[in-house]
Amino acid sequence: MVRDRLVAFVLALGVLASACSGDDDGGGSTTDSAAPTTTAVAPTTAPSSTAAPSTTPTTSSAPSTSPAPTTSPPSTALTNEALKPLVEQLVDSYDAVVAEILADPNVASAPENALVRRYVALFPPDSAFAAGALEFWAGEAAAGRFYRPGPRGVLYESTVQSVELRGESEAVAKVCTTSSIQIVDASGNPLESQGGVNGGEIVVVRVGDQWLLRDLTRVPADDCPRPGGTP
C-alpha cells in the first residue's frame, strides 16, 4: 500500500501525480507519469551529480531555507484554525526541499546529505513513505531524469485549502497544487513536460511537540481553483 501511494504521489504535491488536470503555460503536454516514461533510457551507471545540466547549481550542500517543522500549540488551544498555519509551513518545507532534491535526485541515495536530512525530518522516525520516496528518486537519477521548472518558473506551488482535526494528535489537510515541470536528461535535453492542477490529501500527526507529515495521497482536484479562474 505504501508503494501504491508513492506511485500516485511520490515526488511532490503534484509531481508525477497520475494525471494533471490541465496543460502548463507554454504548450507543454500534460502526461500520466505514475511511472517513469519509456523516453528515459537508464544508463548503465547512475549519473554523477556533476552530470546534471550546468545551468542548475549543485544542491547537495545547499543550506536550509525552508521553515523547520514548527512547535504545536498547547492542546487546549488546538483548533482547525490554529493548526492550519503549521500545516502550511510543513507543506512549504516539503515543496522546497523536494524541488531541490529533484534538481539532482542523485542526492536521494546519500542518507547523510543535507537535503535528505531535511526531507526525512518532515516525517516521523523510520517513515516508510519517506524511505520509499527517496528510493524512487534514486531510481530517477539512475534513469537519467532531472526536474526543472516549466514556463511558470517553479515546479509547483501548493495551497492548503482546509485542515480538519481527527483528535489531539492527528489531522487531515486538503491541498491544491499547481505544477509546471520539465524533465530533462543529464545533458539537459527535454524528455517530457507536465503541468496543471492536482488535489492532495495530507495526514499530519503530532510527535512530541511537533506536527509532522505521515501520508500524502492524490485526490480529485474538483474543488481546486484553476490558474486565473475559479474551480
pLDDT tens digits, one per residue of 138-165: 999 999 999 999 998 889 889 999 999 9
The set of cell numbers assigned to 58 is 549543485
Residue from 211, 165, 218, 226 nearest 4 by CA: 218
Lowest mean per-residue pLDDT among 22-31, 134-143, 202-211, 214-223: 22-31
For the cut 70, the answer to whether the pLDDT of residue 8 exceeds it is no
Chain-wide mean pLDDT for the chain? 75
Residue 64's pLDDT band (cuts 50, 70, 90): very low
pLDDT at residue 79, as a whole number: 94
pLDDT at residue 75, as a whole number: 53
For the cut 50, the answer to whether the pLDDT of residue 86 exceeds it is yes
Please report which helix (H) or strand (E) contains residue 83, including its range. helix 80-103
Give this prediction's pTM: 0.71
User: Distance of CA 120 to CAs 98, 128, 132, 168, 196, Å?
Assistant: 11, 10, 11, 23, 27
Instruction: Report phi then psi at 79, rounded to 5.
Output: -135, 170
pLDDT at residue 91, as a whole number: 96
pLDDT in tens, 67-84: 455 555 555 568 999 999
pLDDT at residue 225, as a whole number: 86
pLDDT at residue 57, as a whole number: 38
Show the CA angle centred on residue 55, arms to residues 54 and 56, nearest 5°: 90
- Average pLDDT of the residues in 87-95: 96
pLDDT at residue 32, as a whole number: 35
- Say which residues have a Cβ less than 8 Å from residue 113's Cβ, sequence separation at least 6: 60, 107
pLDDT at residue 76, as a whole number: 52
Percent of the chain exceeding pLDDT 90 equals 59
For the cut 90, the answer to whether the pLDDT of residue 87 exceeds it is yes
Residue from 6, 9, 2, 7 nearest 177 by CA: 9
- Average pLDDT of the residues in 162-169: 95
Nearest-angstrom CA–CA distance, 7 and 133: 9
Burial class (CB in 10 A: 0-12, 13-18, 19+), 38: exposed
Residue from 152, 145, 134, 140 nearest 197 by CA: 152
pLDDT at residue 72, as a whole number: 55
- Say which residues have a Cβ less than 8 Å from residue 10's Cβ, sequence separation at least 6: 16, 132, 133, 136
- Grid look-up 544508463 returns 43
Percent of the chain exceeding pLDDT 70 equals 65
- Say which residues have a Cβ less than 8 Å from residue 228's Cβ, sequence separation at least 6: none
Nearest-angstrom CA–CA distance, 165 and 118: 26
